[in-house]
Chains A and B, each alone.
Chain A
Amino acid sequence: MTSRTEVSKSVLRRFGVAVLLGLALAAPAARGETSAPAAAKVSIDNFTFSPDRLTVAPGTTVTWTNADDIPHTVVATGKAFRSKALDTDDSFAFTFTTPGTFDYFCSLHPHMHATIVVEAGRS
């Protein structure tokens, strides 16, 4: 079961602490020690997804935030997820529960593409 969430700027601010906490917990989760909710971030800047290849454990919520003055989208090539257009500072979050390789791109600027790898039991 996967969930899909649009995160507004204000919501992000309000829960910024929670997101940071999630990031802190991501490390032990990646070592397979706990099952605490994990989080990771991808920035969109200068028409580039960064990092362009990110490996996470199942259950990780990845949040993309657009730092450009031009809107972008986050669209899975295999249709697993699709954001609305993200204006400057807008975010999109998706929780990856299934292991696999998820290629995605910006449907407005398709030369922008990157990959999320979901791997169980990473050590």
Chain B
Amino acid sequence: MTRHDRDTVTGDGQTRRKVLECMTWAGTGVLWTVSGGVPRALGLIDQAQAQTQSQTSGQDGLTFLQISDSHIGFDKAANPATSRTLEEAIGRVKALPAKPAFMIHTGDITHLSKAAEFDDADHIIGGARLDVHYVPGEHDVIDEEAKLYRERYGRGTKGAGWYSLDASGVHFIGLVNVVDLKSGGLGNLGPDQLAWLADDLAGRSAETPIVVFAHIPLWAVYPAWGWGTDDGGRALSLLARFGSVTVLNGHIHQVMQKVEGNVTFHTACSTAFPQPAPGAAPSPGPLKVADDKLRTKLGLSSVTFRRGEQRLAIIDQTLA
């Protein structure tokens, strides 16, 4: 069985092959178990097994879903029907035998921050009848001062939309790393948000499991394509004393995972279109795949925390 944990992706041929392999595996769903800070891919699972897993584990822990990069409004060749594929993803959510606690959306809800795009996304995602906790992607904040995003999702948040919440003993932190970006730079949290994070974490027990979610990866996936966060390391240093930290991101439209100490990093698929593996194309633009392969590249993730076991299981499921 091939291991999926890896160090920083460098873009060389060997690493790209591993990434592609990971995406192929995701075609039928891969069950991840995080134990003692080290994730192991237990092997291929089909949808039925995935559902059983979330059903049994949901009883004494917490299962939530991650959805990302729905890009409502995108209509180019890579997927002219992004509303339909989002509907299919929500259909998968509604079909789960055990209702998840809630859903997080890691940004790029819309493609161009238009009111009609936000409306369509709200309508479709609302069909899941779950609480949804959002963070913005860069595509959600391109109107004047991100007015539309803040009107819809900014209530009760700080700054550009960051916040935290607690559920079943797990502390969730939603961060914004897509505003006030600097020329030549990557994603950016900024000093105000980092100060808030330090304050939010102060006094919390190191035993508290932490889940951080943000749009752009907090780790350096591939800086040449902007896939990283300039001051992500400062956020991670604030989290270093915690025994279980899970960082969930979107933005790169493919599943990727890395472990560093007590921190597990994981990126989710898009529900709209795939993007190339790092360095595998001239640019990170939308990847056009054969029509009958598209749904093997789109999907959502289910994350389960089991009380007392200090481990999170991440299941990536595609729309195929």
Contacts and interface: CB of A to CB of B under 8 A. Distances in A.
A87 interface: yes
Binding site secondary structure of chain A: loop
Query: Interface size for chain A: under 10, 10 to 19, 20 to 34, or 35 or more residues?
Result: 20 to 34
Given A68-B283, A70-B285, A47 B181 contact: no
Contacts of B282: 46
B70 to A, nearest CB: 15
Best-buried of A84, A87, A105, A111 by chain B (most CB within 10 Å): A111
Nearest to A47: B283
Contacts of B286: 69-70
A25 interface: no
Binding site secondary structure of chain B: loop
A111 B225 contact: yes
12 contacts: A47-B225, A69-B76, A69-B286, A70-B285, A71-B142, A73-B142, A75-B183, A85-B142, A110-B185, A110-B226, A111-B184, A111-B223
Nearest to A76: B183
Given A71-B139, A85-B142, A109 B111 contact: no
Contacts of A112: 226
A107 B139 CA distance: 11
B285 A110 contact: no
B284 interface: yes
A48 B283 contact: yes
A88 B111 CA distance: 12
Interface string A83-123: 01101100000000000000111011111110000000000
A71 B285 CA distance: 10
A110 B112 contact: no
B95 interface: no
Contacts of B111: 71
A68 B215 CA distance: 21
A77 interface: yes
B183 A110 contact: yes
Contacts of A77: 183
A105 B78 contact: no
A110 B76 contact: no
Query: Interface size for chain B: under 10, 10 to 19, 20 to 34, or 35 or more residues?
Result: 20 to 34
B238 interface: no
B285 A107 contact: no
A87 B112 CA distance: 8
B149 to A, nearest CB: 14
Contacts of A88: 76
A88 B186 CA distance: 23
Best-buried of A47, A75, A77 by chain B (most CB within 10 Å): A47
A107 B142 CA distance: 9
Contact of B186 (A69, A75, A105, A111): A111
A47 B283 CA distance: 6
Contacts of B284: 47
A85 B138 CA distance: 11
Interface in A15-71: 46-48, 68-71
Contacts of B223: 111
Interface string B48-74: 000000000000000000000000001
Given A46-B285, A71-B139, A107 B76 contact: no
Given A105-B184, A111-B226, A71 B112 contact: yes
Given A47-B285, A71-B139, A71-B142, A110 B182 contact: yes
Contacts of B280: none
B279 to A, nearest CB: 13
